[in-house]
């Protein structure tokens, strides 16, 4: 299976939301990183054939996706950033309703709903109304509905929003197993989630795809550009104004800064290993 994106572009008036993006995706997990407004959601909506592109095309195994119609939708699972739900439905009722919309036979829908409620840890809340759920529980219902039809292409926009650390680990394990023979694209601001499970990272900036590669390949781009510098609290304020400070921590009366810079920022600065978050912040700062 291969999803091929050819010069995909979306323009609103003079604003270009997605700018001539091309890539080839095969089974695995793809983490989509970028600032708010980078074009991530617009790109995902075009990959779902929900939003019409201004230019460019998307092909699944050589077939243009909009021409596939229902055949493509049957292969697709999608969790939008703000998915809609009926507040008076229970979790079980909502999933059964979504299964009907997806054309899943009733004989299979009940079994699939029960399985997924267990997978996302909501089996004990199956008969409770969704409106009573916490944000994290609602998000888990959203993840379950995206998986109902066992999609070959799973697109998740901010899937870990509202999940606590334990739930995020459960989600990451689920997605890692699921992506063995499927394409999974997920967008999140939680870099550690992508670092933990993504086979490849897609880095977007101002509508363009600026980098694509494995976590180790991308972090190498930041090697030699990450420094630690110990300063006084007063000096720390100055450094924050004149340099790209990725992190700071207080150690007694001193402050240790993590600075992103092409050159050694000060004689006392010590070079340190780069992380995906360093590369992300470095790319956004350029």
Mean pLDDT per segment of 10 residues, for the chain of length 286 residues? Answer: 96 94 96 91 95 96 93 93 85 94 91 94 93 90 93 92 85 87 90 89 94 92 93 92 90 93 92 91 78
Query: In the chain, where are the structural domains located?
Result: 3-217, 226-285
Confidence (pLDDT) at 162: 80
Query: 3-217 has which fold?
Result: Rossmann fold (3.40.50)
Confidence (pLDDT) at 77: 94
Confidence (pLDDT) at 168: 87
Query: Per residue, what are the HEC states of the chain?
Result: CCEEEEEEEEEECCEEEEEEEEEEECCEEEEEECCCCCCHHHHHHHHCCCCCCCEEEEEECCEEHHHHCHHHHCCEEEECCCCCCCCCCEHHHHHHHHHHHCCCCHHHHHHHHHHHHHHCCCHHHCCCEHHHCCHHHHHHHHHHHHHCCCCCEEEEECCCCCCCHHHHHHHHHHHHHHHHHCEEEEECCCHHHHHHHCCEEEEEECCEEEEEECHHHHHHCCCCCEEEEEECHHHHHHHHHHCEEEEEEEECCEEEEEEECCCCCCCCCEECCCCHHHHHHHHHHC
Confidence (pLDDT) at 286: 60
- pTM of this structure: 0.88
């Amino acid at each position: 299976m291969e999803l091929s994106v050819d010069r995909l572009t979306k323009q609103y008036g003079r604003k270009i939301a997605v700018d001539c993006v091309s890539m080839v995706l095969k089974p695995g997990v793809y983490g989509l990183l970028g600032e708010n407004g980078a074009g991530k959601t617009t790109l995902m909506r075009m990959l779902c054939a929900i939003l019409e592109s201004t230019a460019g095309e998307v092909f699944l195994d050589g077939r243009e996706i909009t021409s596939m119609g229902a055949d493509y939708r049957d292969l697709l699972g999608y969790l939008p950033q703000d998915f809609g739900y009926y507040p008076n439905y229970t979790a079980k009722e909502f999933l059964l309703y979504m299964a009907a919309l997806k054309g899943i036979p009733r004989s299979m829908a009940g079994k699939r709903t029960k399985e997924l409620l267990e997978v996302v840890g909501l089996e004990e809340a199956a008969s409770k109304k969704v409106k009573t759920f916490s944000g994290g529980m609602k998000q888990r219902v959203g993840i379950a509905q995206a998986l109902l039809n066992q999609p070959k292409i799973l697109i998740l926009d901010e899937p870990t929003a509202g999940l606590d650390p334990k739930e995020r680990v459960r989600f990451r394990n689920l997605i890692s197993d699921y992506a063995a023979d499927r394409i999974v694209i997920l967008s999140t601001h939680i870099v550690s989630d992508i670092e933990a499970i993504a086979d490849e990272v897609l880095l977007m900036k101002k509508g363009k795809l600026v980098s694509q590669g494995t976590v180790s390949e991308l972090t190498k781009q930041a090697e030699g550009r990450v420094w630690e510098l110990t300063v006084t609290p007063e000096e720390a304020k100055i450094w924050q104004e004149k340099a790209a400070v990725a992190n700071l921590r207080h150690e007694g009366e001193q402050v240790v800064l993590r600075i992103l810079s092409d050159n050694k920022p000060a004689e006392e600065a010590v070079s340190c290993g780069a992380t995906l978050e360093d590369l992300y912040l470095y790319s956004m700062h350029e």
